[in-house]
Structure 1
Amino acid sequence: MSARGGAALGTTQECDCFTCSFNERSVRIQSTYSLTELNDGPLRRLHLAYVVVSSPDLHGMVETLSIAVIGAPGVGKTSIIRQFIYNDFSETYTPTQTRYVYRPSVILNGVMYDLKILDVPPISSFPSSPSQEWLDARCRGVRSANAYILVYDICCVESFEYVKMIRQQIVDSSLLTCLSSLCLSIRVGSSSEVPILVVGSKRDLQRHRFTQRRAVSVLVKKTWKCGYVECSAKYNWHVLLLFKELLGIAVARGLRPNHTSIRLQGALHRNRCNVM
């Protein structure tokens, strides 16, 4: 298995990279680099280029999961994604102008998942129909995503209001889609069948947060029925955890219902950092 460099596709930039969990007992790394170098060295920041792996535990199974990352301008969507994939963080803010697609892979309980992570530029609303989705290049693939990460800045109440609006629109859109196809699996007013994780970013600035964490957590978990995680992309705190949580929700809600636990090992082990 190999990794290819990114390529521009119209207004959509796409990056194919390989970020796989390595189990020392079951995976043979066919390269001249040690496991430690792959985990901690600069090779990981170079897309783990041309590293070939094989695992007898995979049983030839590969699942694909599309994840749309949505949030207001400046909340740190791209920083979270890049920290997860490249273990990289930039202090320079560069607004996301076009949709960008990342393609890492992870192994969960012996099953490889090819992730398609959509870094979505700020959009005024969630596309309510396929035609609206394709008219706006920034929204392409958003409606068909398997799961959503909604990011807000814990220091900016407006960014949370944006997440609140987008979440409700996702639920409404999913309900209409299911009703039109005579699918009754989604309960009215609930996002319980739509894998959504709300992420509070910039936890390192928690002294400036607009409200207590508990207030947001209760609203998101109890009322919205969504997952909730706070993270710091700058210090790589809970970045891995948020993707683990989202994948856990997606697996539990139908992607592979027999999986009751999530294991992200090896190269995707949580990096040690200061707890805030």
Structure 2
Amino acid sequence: MDPETERFLQEPGCQGKSSLKMVVMGYQGAGKKTLVDGIQRNWSELRSRSSRKGERTDDLGIRGRDVNIEVIETAVKRPFPFIQRLPSCDAYLLVYSMVCEDSFKSVTAVRDQIIQQKGDSIPIIFVANKTDIAQNVDKTRRVYRDLFISCEWEHGHYEISARNSTDINRVLQNTMRRVNKTTP
């Protein structure tokens, strides 16, 4: 278990939940499936490492609770989607490709629908995928998006490479933190 994850799981300030249901949404080809697979693989590895160290699996999680993770993947097929009914969950992960402007436009439209249907208290995390091939993406645009999403909208925003499993644990940990802040 990496030290950051171990510290996170032992944090006394986190209010634990026994389950975490996330909905991963995004444009076709943005890397949703690879991200979902990475989240599930990393969580399984974390749980198995914990059990091999002699800890009880049911003690793994926030404040000694076992945390079950359920991830639902939903594709957005057009740049400006209309979703009649959003699935209920603890957090929404909106995935876009750093190399496709339409994918970003689609998740911002989804974000507007989430706010309209669910209110602004549910955690929304933007995940910019494909850092492994985004060397030519304008750095000013990247910084502007990060500042706008993080500061103006007050949502999480993380750049990852789902293909290389880069920063997937960070997305998972920060999603749990945001969910725990909104849980009474």
Cα deviation for residue 82 of structure 1 reads: 1.0
In the other structure, the counterpart of 2:131 is 203
For 1:247 and 1:79, the matched residues in 2 are separated by 20
State whether structure 2 residue 10 is matched by structure 1 residue 66.
no
State whether structure 2 residue 83 is matched by structure 1 residue 127.
yes
Q: Which runs of 5+ in 1 are unaligned?
A: 1-21, 24-60, 88-105, 134-141, 176-190, 258-276
Alpha-carbon spacing, 1:230–1:62, altered in 2? closer, same or farther (3 Å): closer
Q: Deviations over 1:126-149 (max 9, x none)?
A: 534xxxx4xxxxxxxx43112100
State whether structure 2 residue 163 is matched by structure 1 residue 234.
yes
Alpha-carbon spacing, 1:62–1:198, altered in 2? closer, same or farther (3 Å): closer
Normalized per residue, the structure richer in helix is 2
- Map 1:84-233 to 2 at 5 A: 84-86=39-41, 107-123=61-77, 125=81, 127-128=83-84, 133=85, 142-175=86-119, 191=120, 193-209=121-137, 212-233=141-162
Q: Deviations over 1:40-71 (max 9, x none)?
A: xxxxxxxxxxxxxxxxxxxxx97222110000
For 1:245 and 1:169, the matched residues in 2 are separated by 22
Q: Deviations over 1:135-167 (max 9, x none)?
A: xxxxxxx43112100000011111101111000
Count of aligned residue pairs for this structure pair: 151
Q: Deviations over 1:227-253 (max 9, x none)?
A: 011101122110111111111100111
Larger Rg: 1
TM-score (norm 2): 0.73
- Write out the 4+ residue segments of structure 1 that deviate beyond 6 Å after TM superposition: none
Q: Does the CA-based 8 Å contact 1:65-1:115 persist in structure 2?
A: yes
Q: Deviations over 1:163-207 (max 9, x none)?
A: 1100011001113xxxxxxxxxxxxxxx3x111100000011121
Aligned CA-pair RMSD = 2.3
Q: Deviations over 1:77-119 (max 9, x none)?
A: 00011122236xxxxxxxxxxxxxxxxxx62231222121001
- Map 1:4-19 to 2 at 5 A: none
Alpha-carbon spacing, 1:113–1:205, altered in 2? closer, same or farther (3 Å): same
- One-letter code aligned to 2:83: P
Q: Which runs of 5+ in 2 are unaligned?
A: 7-15, 43-59
